[in-house]
Amino acid sequence: MRARSTRLVTTVGVVVAASALIAGCTGNTASTETSAAAAATAAASAAGSAAADAAGSANDAPGEMVKIGFSAPAADHGWMGAITKAAQDEAAKFSDVELVVAEGTNDVNLQISQIETFINDKVDAIVMLPFDGAALTDVATKAMEAGITVINVDREFSSPFAARSTVLGDNYGMGVSAGTYMCEKFGDNPDAIIAEIAGIDSLPLTQDRSKGFADALAGCGLKVSNRVAAEFTVESGEKAAANLLQAAPKIDGLWNHDDDQGVGVMAAIEAAGRDEFVMVGGAGSANVMRAIQADDTVLKATVIYPSTQAADGIDLARMIVQGKALGDLVEVEAPRKVMLYAPVVTKDNVDQYLPTAFES
């Protein structure tokens, strides 16, 4: 199976259970039986791997043509721009995929119109990152009722009937990962001052990130002492960070929810001449990863919120329309929901994640 398919399987959370072989305490018979059991287990494992590889190859082989309509918000920040580019790059890998990309828009009514056009054009599938999941639910349901496979990306619809499959980042998991990192750094210091620069507080995704962060910190006896919210932009990040730094003359650890707004956060930190704390980013931009690699700023880590979600959506749409499934799973249907992992990127593993990072 290609690397992309393997990543999809990983995000579903496939758990491989290892069987324990119990040998007798004495005697050659027990030893022989154990060896035979081990050999049988190894043979079964090899057969399973071969079957998975064969399934992966079958998925990669060209099939019937699949026309996919793609719609997402305007690329007004790095992460959103990377979403669309990754989808286009993924579609280009397949000779049996025709991708029709609607112009990015933050106008809900215009996005609804785009989806209606896809329905009228009788596309085979629609991969959509809705500007507003609730507002796009009805038209997505209409597409599904027309026999079109809809893949929902990042912002969930309000009805399970609006999409065949949904690909999500793990917002709560982002907070947990960031909080766990802080616990590793400061868990032995109950007086550590932990600060947080959130995104837009009215959004459920921001609320989920903050809840995950607080829950993880509570596990090691820490809490957020200073918190401000920004708006996922450079300008708002700089303003929010300036306010936070003025209110908190000393900080030990700082989590910034979003690396795009983090450009402004870093500008405020540098202007204030502050370097006494450890900062963790959010989303996983290339400029933050390069700073982590260089190890010459307060930025020591970031938490991934994958910009590959729509690319995964393209893969799922193609597989579902062609009647395929994930080769490394026993299940014969593609999953209903895929939640991507939120790993922590540090200097030790940054080389692994930098190639798929987005530019802020």
Mean pLDDT of 19-45: 36
| CATH 3.40.50.2300 holds for 66-169+307-324 | yes
State the Cα–Cα distance between residues 67 and 128, nearest whole angstrom. 14
What are 184-233's pLDDT values in tens digits? Answer: 999 999 999 999 999 999 888 999 999 999 999 999 999 999 999 999 99
Domain boundaries, the chain: 3-60, 66-169+307-324, 171-305+345-356
What are 89-136's pLDDT values in tens digits? Answer: 999 999 999 999 999 999 999 999 999 999 999 999 999 999 999 999
Check whether 65 has a pLDDT greater than 90. Answer: yes
Check whether 50 has a pLDDT greater than 50. Answer: no
Check whether 27 has a pLDDT greater than 90. Answer: no
Mean pLDDT of 275-300: 97
Mean pLDDT of 296-320: 97
Q: How does residue 2 score in pLDDT terms, banded at 50, 70 and 90? A: very low
Confidence (pLDDT) at 356? 87
Confidence (pLDDT) at 57? 53
Q: Which CATH fold topology does 171-305+345-356 show?
A: Rossmann fold (3.40.50)
Check whether 181 has a pLDDT greater than 50. Answer: yes
Confidence (pLDDT) at 302? 98
Looking at per-residue pLDDT, the higher value among 77 and 49 belongs to: 77
Check whether 69 has a pLDDT greater than 60. Answer: yes
Q: How does residue 30 score in pLDDT terms, banded at 50, 70 and 90? A: very low
> In what side-by-side order are the strands of the sheet with 66-71?
97-101, 66-71, 125-128, 149-153, 165-168, 337-339
Check whether 313 has a pLDDT greater than 60. Answer: yes
Domains 66-169+307-324 and 171-305+345-356 alike in fold: yes
Average pLDDT score, the chain:
86
Check whether 87 has a pLDDT greater than 70. Answer: yes
Number of Cα atoms under 13 Å in the Cβ half of residue 189: 11
Looking at per-residue pLDDT, the higher value among 267 and 202 belongs to: 267
Mean pLDDT of 306-312: 95
Structure tokens at 263: 């450009």
State the Cα–Cα distance between residues 241 and 263, nearest whole angstrom. 11
For the chain, what is the total number of helices (H) and then of strands (E)? 12, 12
Looking at per-residue pLDDT, the higher value among 25 and 161 belongs to: 161
